């Protein structure tokens, strides 16, 4: 997910080449051998951890969706809106459109998780609510009608 830097690495930016965390350089490219242009010394586990963090964030997003959105049919709209806003922020930050298949798979899995779990919880809430189909007044009216018709 973090395959390319957000800034060009030519000239003065070349000293920023490598993987940085908390202001410290934690990885660097091998300058002795021929280095591929896309190799910035980023650990492969980093992408998997970012993907896992996004899936966990989508699972946590189900809770506000459950309490704020009352209708199960609106969960789809709000979940996809959250993912679309994430896409806009990602494009703005990276200054490019995400082309990684891994990014799109993680986004799809997160959206599916939010939609399915959110709708199931909302449907369960609707089904468990106490719906009184027959009230005492309707029962009395029914019995009075039956007496008058017979």
Residue-wise pLDDT for 31-61, tens only, equals: 544 444 455 555 677 888 889 999 999 999 9
Higher-scoring residue by pLDDT: 145, 95: 95
Q: Give whole-number Cα distances, 89 to 16, 133, 137, in Å.
A: 23, 48, 56
Bridge partners (DSSP) of residue 19 are 27
User: What's the pLDDT score for residue 34?
Assistant: 46
Dihedral pair phi/psi, residue 58, rounded to 5°:
-65, -40
- pTM score: 0.59
pLDDT of 95-140, one tens digit each?
888 888 888 999 999 999 999 999 999 998 888 876 555 555 555 5
pLDDT of 19 higher than 60: yes
Mean of the per-residue pLDDT values of the chain? 76
pLDDT of 14 higher than 90: no
Mean pLDDT (whole number) for 92-96: 82
- 79 CB neighbour count, 10 Å cutoff: 25
User: What's the pLDDT score for residue 88?
Assistant: 93
DSSP state of 22: T
Say how far apart CA 78 and CA 47 lie, in whole Å.
Answer: 26
Most confident of 79-88, 89-98, 129-138: 79-88
């Amino acid at each position: 997910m973090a395959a390319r830097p957000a800034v060009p690495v030519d000239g003065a930016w070349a000293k920023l080449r490598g993987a940085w965390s908390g202001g410290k350089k934690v990885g660097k490219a091998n300058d002795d051998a021929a280095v591929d242009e896309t190799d910035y010394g980023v650990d492969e586990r980093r992408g998997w951890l970012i993907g896992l963090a996004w899936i966990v964030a989508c699972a946590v997003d189900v809770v506000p969706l459950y309490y704020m959105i009352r209708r199960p049919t609106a969960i789809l709209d709000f979940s996809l809106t959250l993912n679309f806003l994430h896409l806009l922020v990602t494009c703005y930050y990276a200054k490019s459109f995400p082309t990684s298949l891994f990014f799109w798979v993680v986004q799809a899995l997160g959206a599916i998780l939010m939609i399915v779990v959110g709708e199931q919880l909302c449907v369960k809430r609707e089904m468990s609510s106490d719906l009184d189909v027959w009230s005492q007044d309707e029962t009395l009216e029914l019995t009075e009608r039956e007496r008058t018709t017979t």
